[in-house]
Chain A
Amino acid sequence: MSALVDLFTAIAVSAGLLFFLAGVVGLLRFPDALTRLHALTKADNVGLGLIVAGLMPQAGGVLAALKLMLVWLTVLLAGATVGQLIARVARRAEPRK
């Protein structure tokens, strides 16, 4: 059982890191602010979500696991808002084509 849980953690955290890697590559390679934001928000939301899901069974208790979950939800809320705000500023700054 414990080996299965560890396997789940390893897979979920690795998948999360993959999303972060993709997000960073997108941030560096994409051409403008809006597409870069698109790449970045996937890393923040799904990547962190997968890492948190992977770490929750290792947290050593329901309360600690729920705290991890709360961290993820707070980052979701802040990330979504900041993404929208940056996008609005970027759209205003760039002339329409």
Chain B
Amino acid sequence: MSFELFYEVLVGLLVLTAAAWSVAARDSYSATVGFVSYGLLMTIVWMQLHAVDVALTEAAIGSGLTGLVLLGAAARLRATEARVVTRPPAALRVVAALACAGVAVALAVTVLSLPRPTPSLAGATVAALPATGLGNAVNGVLMAFRAFDTLLEKVVLVLSLVGVWSLAPDLGWTGRPRLRHPFADDGVLGFLARTLPPLGLLFGVHLMWNGAVEPGGAFQGATVLAAMWLLVLMAGLGEVPQVRARWLRVAAVAGPATFLAVGLFGIAIAGAFLAYPEPHAKALILLVEVPMMLTIALVLALLVAGPPEPVEHP
């Protein structure tokens, strides 16, 4: 067995172990820890498959941001969890296990019966890429060839924020999400929140800008920006904005709105919705990506911050 194969099998086994752990863990905190490890191991798998863009997204969103949201949920649930001791009846569990096994078998059969070589549009994508002015085929697919999917994805992101905000109690609408770390005042977190963001800002913008030619892009860059903003908010160096603030609402829809406007503009100037006139394709893509990055960073951070809470009257 070659070293590379041994390594791949080892990582595969670790992924399965982490996945099994996060399903089997008794309390939601342990399950979340398992889930975060699973995400980081999946990052290694994507790197091994040379899918650097996917690896970046998996590390940033799949493991980092989702892990943070789940940790917050686990912390809120902890008080109730100790009292929950009921287990579903055996028959129900057997049915659930059979259903899960059925899905796994169906997936396995589907994957194994795919035609070989796998039909692929990769060649056509790379051939058409020069027309977009981009050098990174993944970004070409996201911003030009499948722009409709990306547009809808951003709309879903805004809708998910609306969903989280809907969980606020009536009086919460006048308040703000609570994010302050319990140790915000003793200086350690404050030091990191003052030292890291300049570097993080540079890195986030670099990821977005560089995404045109190398792995990276607006989503990955925005995640870094969101993390920096969250760090500042948790350290108490800045205040979480009120959810009714006008600028916040405008920034939250700026990305999809610009995308939509450029898309409609495409009907007039290039003959189809979301089509770019060839000589200006890259400029238009950047015009969409900048507000999109703002929207993604803002929405991701606010998803972590959670619903606004009522103002406390001492």
How far in angstroms is the closest Cβ of chain B from A79? 11
List the A residue with the shortest CB-CB distance to B182: A89
Segment of A5-13, A24-32, A48-56, A80-88 engaged in the interface with chain B: A80-88
Q: B183 to A88, Cβ gap below 8 A?
A: yes
List the B residue with the shortest CB-CB distance to A83: B188
Contact flag A78-B196 (CB < 8 Å), given A84-B188, A85-B188, A85-B189: yes
- The yes or no answer to A77 lying at the interface (CB within 8 A) is yes
How far in angstroms is the closest Cβ of chain B from A38? 17
How far in angstroms is the closest Cβ of chain A from B233? 15
Contact partners of A78 in chain B: CB under 8 A? 192, 196
- The yes or no answer to A74 lying at the interface (CB within 8 A) is yes
How far in angstroms is the closest Cβ of chain A from B106? 39
Number of interface residues of B (CB under 8 A): 11
Contact partners of B199 in chain A: CB under 8 A? 74
List the A residue with the shortest CB-CB distance to B196: A77
How far in angstroms is the closest Cβ of chain B from A94? 15
Contact partners of A74 in chain B: CB under 8 A? 196, 199
Q: A81 to B186, Cβ gap below 8 A?
A: no
How far apart sit A84 and B199, CA to CA, in the bound complex (Å)?
Answer: 21
Interface residues of B in 178-203 (CB under 8 A from A): 181-183, 186, 188-189, 191-192, 195-196, 199
How far in angstroms is the closest Cβ of chain A from B76? 17
How far in angstroms is the closest Cβ of chain B from A40? 15
Interface residues of A in 58-97 (CB under 8 A from B): 74, 77-78, 81, 84-85, 88-89
How far apart sit A77 and B199, CA to CA, in the bound complex (Å)?
Answer: 12
List the A residue with the shortest CB-CB distance to B186: A88
How far in angstroms is the closest Cβ of chain A from B279? 33
Among candidates A81, A88, A89, residue contacting B192 with C-beta atoms closer than 8 Å: A81
How far in angstroms is the closest Cβ of chain A from B21? 16
Among candidates B182, B183, B186, B192, residue contacting A77 with C-beta atoms closer than 8 Å: B192
Contact partners of A81 in chain B: CB under 8 A? 188-189, 191-192
How far in angstroms is the closest Cβ of chain B from A48? 15
List the A residue with the shortest CB-CB distance to B203: A74
List the B residue with the shortest CB-CB distance to A81: B192
How far in angstroms is the closest Cβ of chain B from A82? 9
How far apart sit A89 and B195, CA to CA, in the bound complex (Å)?
Answer: 22
Among candidates B183, B195, B196, residue contacting A85 with C-beta atoms closer than 8 Å: B183
Type the 1/0 row for B279-307, where 1 means its CB is closer than 8 Å to any CB of A.
00000000000000000000000000000
Contact partners of B196 in chain A: CB under 8 A? 74, 77-78
How far in angstroms is the closest Cβ of chain B from A60? 17
List the A residue with the shortest CB-CB distance to B191: A81
Contact partners of B189 in chain A: CB under 8 A? 81, 85
Interface residues of B in 139-187 (CB under 8 A from A): 181-183, 186
How far apart sit A85 and B181, CA to CA, in the bound complex (Å)?
Answer: 10
B residues at A contact (CB < 8 Å): 181-183, 186, 188-189, 191-192, 195-196, 199
Chain A to chain B contacts (Cβ below 8 Å), 21 pairs = A74-B196, A74-B199, A77-B192, A77-B195, A77-B196, A78-B192, A78-B196, A81-B188, A81-B189, A81-B191, A81-B192, A84-B188, A85-B181, A85-B183, A85-B188, A85-B189, A88-B183, A88-B186, A88-B188, A89-B182, A89-B183
A81-B188, A81-B192, A88-B186 known; 5 new pairs, CB 8 Å cut-off, are A77-B195, A85-B183, A88-B183, A88-B188, A89-B183
8 shortest interchain CB distances as A-B pairs:
A81-B192, A84-B188, A88-B183, A81-B188, A85-B183, A85-B188, A77-B195, A85-B189
